[in-house]
Structure formats: structure tokens, C-alpha cells
Amino acid sequence: MHENKLFSTTEIKVRFNEVDSMGVVWHGNYVDYLEDGREDFGEKFGLHYLDFFREGIIVPLVKIDIDYKKSLKYGEKAIIETRYVDTEAAKLIFDYTISRSSNMEIIATARSIQVFLNSEMELQLTFPEFFMKWKQKYFGK
């Protein structure tokens, strides 16, 4: 069971354009899989990129760490589990586990970090008000 209730699972199918000449997913495509996970998370928990945009906030990625453990191949399905990491720092942090659907073998683990910028592209050192309301809904803070 997850101690963090804020997670989503997304299934993807490896497409032909995502693999190299050996039929193995090119490592850079895992970044897209993480994006798929974040978008699904946003759908499930009401935290869409357009919500930030409407509030005048931009949330660029500043760091992505991926630990590759196995490979995915053309036609395989994978599950991306995306977990929100609660932090006091004004950042969006997500942890991920990508597993092969057929046997739940872990393919990769990852973490992404995003920061908050205002419409003038200035770094925000505190959470935007609408995001604090979102956090309070799920964490009571």
C-alpha cells in the first residue's frame, strides 16, 4: 500500500517511433513517458498545466533523474506510476516507477523537479496561493 495517497497510474504502449533499430525504446523517450504520467496525475487530482497558466504561473522542469534498470521493446505495454512528493520548498516534485505491464518488472525509476515562475519569468520562493489551496485539500496544510 502507498503511504502517499497522491499517485496515479498510466498505461502506455510502446510505439514504433519510440524505438531504435533493435526495437528497444530509445532512452530519451522515457522523459515523454514521465510527462504522460504528470498529465494523468493532473487529470486525476485537478492540477493541470493550464491551471498554472491561468494563474500566471509557469512550472518549468529544472531536473530529471532517471535510473534505467531494464528495457522496453516495441509493442510492449508499461505502467507509469506517478507520485507527488510533498515538500515545504516551493517546488513540484514527482517520483515515478515505470513497470512492464505483463509482469510488473521495474523498467526505470525517476524523479522530476519543477519550479514556479511568474509571468515575468521570476522564480517564486513561495507556493502560489491557488497551489496552497490545492495542497490544503489533500494534506490539510
Is residue 124 a part of any domain in this protein? Answer: yes
Residue 3: the pLDDT is 54
Q: Is 122 within the bounds of a domain?
A: yes
Residue at 1 is within a domain: no
pTM of the full predicted structure? 0.93
The secondary structure of the chain in percent helix, strand, coil, rounded to multiples of 5, reads 25, 35, 40
56 vs 47: CA distance, rounded Å: 14
- For every residue of 72-103, DSSP letters joined together read -BTT-EEEEEEEEE--SSSEEEEEEEEEETTT
Position 87 in a domain: yes
- Is residue 95 within 8 Å of 109, Cβ to Cβ? yes
- Judge whether 48 lies within some domain: yes
Percent of residues, the chain, with pLDDT higher than 70: 96
| Count of domains for the chain | 1
Could you tell me if residue 108 is inside a domain? yes
CATH of the domain at 117: 3.10.129.10
Mean pLDDT calculated for residue range 96-122:
97
**Residue 66 falls inside a structural domain:** yes
Tell me, yes or no, whether 113 lies in a domain: yes
Inform me whether the pLDDT recorded for 89 exceeds 90.
Answer: yes
Give pLDDT tens digits for 10-65: 999 999 999 999 999 999 999 999 999 999 999 999 999 888 999 999 999 999 99
Structural domain of 36:
7-139
Sequence-ordered list of residues with C-beta below 8 angstroms from that of 32, at least 6 positions apart, any chain: 18
Count CA atoms within 13 Å of residue 12 on its CB side: 23
Enumerate residues 6+ apart whose C-beta is below 8 A from 49.
39, 42, 59
Per-residue pLDDT reduced to its tens digit, 112-121: 999 999 999 9
Q: Quick one: pLDDT at residue 2?
A: 44
